[in-house]
Structure 1
C-alpha cells in the first residue's frame, strides 16, 4: 500500500488550510460557561459559504454533480484541518451523506440532492447514534412497507444526538426492515410525522432528538442497497478519527508552546525530563492515530481486499483516535497547570470537543469488542 498523497489530495488540504486559517477556535464560549444551554444555535454560515466556494463540500462527488471526484483520503485531509480549529460546520456528516446517496441512491434522489449539496445550498446530516448513543443506530428505527403507497415505506423510532438536526435540510436515517435488512431513509426537515427536541452535547453544541411516528417515505427517497449503511458508518467513523487527529495535533502544539515559555525554578518547564517525556509520549500517540487513520481511509478509498473487512481497519483507527485524543488533552491540561483549568482559555474548549470525538460512534472499548468479533470470525491461521 502507498500512503503518498496525490497532487489532488494535497491541493484539497491546502485549500482547506487557506479557508480554515481564518477561524478562531476561541470565538465561541466554553460549554462550562453556558449553564447547560447550547453555545450557539446555528452553524457557521459564513464559513460554510467559503468552504462551498473552495469546492470543499463536493470533494467526493462526481464531475456530473459539480464535484472533484476525490476519495476518503482527501476528505480526511480536509477534516484534519477542520479539527485543528474546531470548525462549527457539518463537513463530515454532509460529505458522508452525499457520498452515500451518490454510491447507493437511485437516480431521482441523486438528481434532486447532489448538485445542490455540492454547492452548499442544501445541508445534509446523518442520524448515527441510535436511540441511546450506545446501541446500533439501525436498530433504533423500524421500516415497514406502506400498504397505501406503491413501493413506499413507514418509519417509526427515535434517533438521539443527531448533529445539525436543526440546521440540515435533509437527514439520513438508518433503519431496520422486517426481514432484518438495513436501509437508509432521506427525510426532509419538518417532514410530517417527525418531532425534533433539542439536546446539548459535551461541546456545548446543539444536537437533536428525532422522533418518527409512521413517517411516510417514498421509494425514491430510500437507499436499500446491501451494505449502504455499513459503508456510510465506516466513512463517518474514519472522518471522526481525522477530526480527532487534527484536534490532538493542535493541542500538542499549544502545549509545546506553553511549556517552552512557562518558567519554574528559573528554567522553562519544557527542559524538565518529566515534562519532555510526557510530551514525547503524546507525540507517539498522534503518530499512531495518523497511521491507523490513513490505513482506514486508504482501505475505504481503494476497496482493497484483506484478511479482515474494512471494518477491522476502521475499528483500529477509532481505538487509537479515542484513546489517543483523550491522553493528549489530559496531558495538556496537566502541563498547563492552572491555565488548563481556566474555562476562558481555549484549551478547555478543545478538551470538551475531544471528549465528544472520543465517544462519538463508539469509545475505544466498543471498537475493541467489535475488532475481537471480527478476528474471531476471520481466523488468520
Structure 2
C-alpha cells in the first residue's frame, strides 16, 4: 500500500508553510502572567493570507469556491498552524463548513459556503456543552416555534460554554436536542436576538465565550437534522485537535533538541547525556504514535461518511487518536520543560506558550480518560471477531 500524501495534499502543506513562515509564536503576552491579555480578535491579517492562498476553502467543493480536498489535507494544514500557534479559527471554521456542505440544505449552502471559502463568513461551533463535560447537544433544546407563526422556525434555549472565537465569528453552529432523542445542528448568526456572549478565557489565554440562547429563533433552513451530522462534526473537531497537538508537539521537541544540543554541562552538550537522550527518544515515539493514529482517524472519516465500514465505527479511530494526542502532547511539553531547566520557565522564551496551548488541546473535547471510556463502550458494543 502507498501511504504517501497526494500531490494536492503536499501542495497544501507547502502553501501553509509559506503563509505561517513569518508568524512568531512569542509575539503574544504570556497568558499565565496576564490572563486574557491576548487580543480579543483572532489574527485577521493572517486569516487574509490564508484566504489569499485558498487554504480557508481547502475542504469545500469547487462549486462553492473551494479546493475540494479532504480531512487529511485539512489536518496537514492544521499541523503547520500549530507549529507557530497560529491564532486563527481554522479548525472550527473548516469543520463547520464541511458539516454544512455535507448535510445542509441548498439554501443554507448557498448562503454560507461561498463566503466561508473566501474567509468572509467566519464560522465557529459550540462543542463543549454547559460544563465542558456533558454532551454538547444536551445543553440546548430545540423546539418548533408556535404554530401561529407559520414560518416553520425553531426556537433554541440553553447555554454552551467555552465557545472559541465566538466574539469574532459571524455564525455559530449550535448542537441541540429536540426532546425526542434527536440531535440537530443550528446555524445561528452571532447577532441573533436572544443570543448573549459572556467573556471566558481558556488555558491558552485566548478569549472564549459562554453562549446563552434565550428564545433564539432559527429558520428551518438553518437547522440541520440529518442523522449523524452532529456526531460527524464532533469527530472532525476531535481529529483536527489531534492534528494541532501533533504540530505543537513536533515543534516543541525540535526546540528541545536545539536547546540541549547547545546547552553544555561538564564541558559536553547535555544532549549527549544518556538520561537526556532517552527522554527525548521516548517523546519522539509519542509523536510517531500520535501521527499514525491521527492519519488513521482522518482516513476513516473520509473513507466512510456514515461512520461504518469496519469492526468499529470511525468513532473508535477518533477516540484512539485523541487518547494518544492528549497523553502524548502532555508528556512532550512536560519533558521539554524538564530538559530546558529554569530556561523553560522564562516568559521571554516561547516554550511557556506552547505548554499552555498543549494543556488546552489535551483537555479540549475531552481528556484521554473520557475517550478511553468511550472506546470501551464501543468495544463492548462491537465485539471483535
Compute the TM-score of the two structures, normalised by the length of structure 1: 0.98
Deviation at 1:38, TM superposition (A): 3.8
User: Could you tell me whether the CA contact under 8 Å between 1:12 and 1:78 is conserved in 2?
Assistant: yes
Quick one: distance in 1 between partners of 2:95 and 2:36? 28
Does residue 59 (structure 1) correspond to residue 58 (structure 2)? The answer is yes
Query: Counterpart of 1:231 in 2: which secondary structure?
Result: helix
Query: Counterpart of 2:322 in 1: which secondary structure?
Result: helix
Quick one: distance in 2 between partners of 1:136 and 1:21? 38
Query: Counterpart of 2:169 in 1: which secondary structure?
Result: coil
Does residue 159 (structure 1) correspond to residue 160 (structure 2)? The answer is yes
Does residue 373 (structure 1) correspond to residue 380 (structure 2)? The answer is no
- 2:22 corresponds to which residue? 22
- 1:341 corresponds to which residue? 345
Deviation at 1:4, TM superposition (A): 2.0
Deviation string for 1:207-264 (max 9, x for gaps)? Answer: 0000001111000010110000011001000000000000000000000000000001
- 1:211 corresponds to which residue? 212
Query: Counterpart of 1:161 in 2: which secondary structure?
Result: strand
- 1:280 corresponds to which residue? 281
Query: Counterpart of 2:215 in 1: which secondary structure?
Result: strand
Query: Counterpart of 2:4 in 1: which secondary structure?
Result: coil
User: Could you tell me whether the CA contact under 8 Å between 1:3 and 1:298 is conserved in 2?
Assistant: no
Match runs of 1:213-292 below 5 Å: 213-292=214-293
- 1:301 corresponds to which residue? 302
Deviation string for 1:250-289 (max 9, x for gaps)? Answer: 0000000000000011110000000000000000000000
Query: Counterpart of 1:375 in 2: which secondary structure?
Result: helix
Query: Counterpart of 2:58 in 1: which secondary structure?
Result: coil
- 1:126 corresponds to which residue? 125
Quick one: distance in 1 between partners of 2:335 and 2:71? 30
- 2:46 corresponds to which residue? 47
Give 4+ residue runs of structure 1 displaced > 3 Å after superposition.
none
Quick one: distance in 2 between partners of 1:192 and 1:149? 19
Quick one: distance in 1 between partners of 2:23 and 2:128? 28
Compute the TM-score of the two structures, normalised by the length of structure 2: 0.97
Quick one: distance in 1 between partners of 2:232 and 2:363? 20
Query: Counterpart of 1:33 in 2: which secondary structure?
Result: coil
Query: Counterpart of 1:278 in 2: which secondary structure?
Result: helix
Which blocks of at least 5 consecutive residues in structure 2 are unaligned?
none
Deviates more, 1:176-185 or 1:251-260: 176-185
Deviation at 1:2, TM superposition (A): 4.7
Deviation at 1:178, TM superposition (A): 1.7
Match runs of 1:44-193 below 5 Å: 44-147=43-146, 148-193=149-194
Which blocks of at least 5 consecutive residues in structure 1 are unaligned?
none
Deviation at 1:344, TM superposition (A): 2.3
Deviates more, 1:55-64 or 1:297-306: 297-306
Quick one: distance in 1 between partners of 2:150 and 2:350? 53
RMSD of Structure 2 on Structure 1 (CA): 0.9
Deviation string for 1:319-344 (max 9, x for gaps)? Answer: 00000000000000000000111122
User: Could you tell me whether the CA contact under 8 Å between 1:38 and 1:200 is conserved in 2?
Assistant: no
User: Could you tell me whether the CA contact under 8 Å between 1:194 and 1:215 is conserved in 2?
Assistant: yes
Query: Counterpart of 2:92 in 1: which secondary structure?
Result: helix
Does residue 33 (structure 1) correspond to residue 33 (structure 2)? The answer is yes
Quick one: distance in 1 between partners of 2:199 and 2:30? 19
User: Could you tell me whether the CA contact under 8 Å between 2:29 and 2:37 is conserved in 1?
Assistant: no
Does residue 324 (structure 1) correspond to residue 325 (structure 2)? The answer is no
Query: Counterpart of 2:32 in 1: which secondary structure?
Result: helix
Deviation at 1:301, TM superposition (A): 1.1
Quick one: distance in 2 between partners of 1:59 and 1:188? 23
- Aligned positions, number: 380
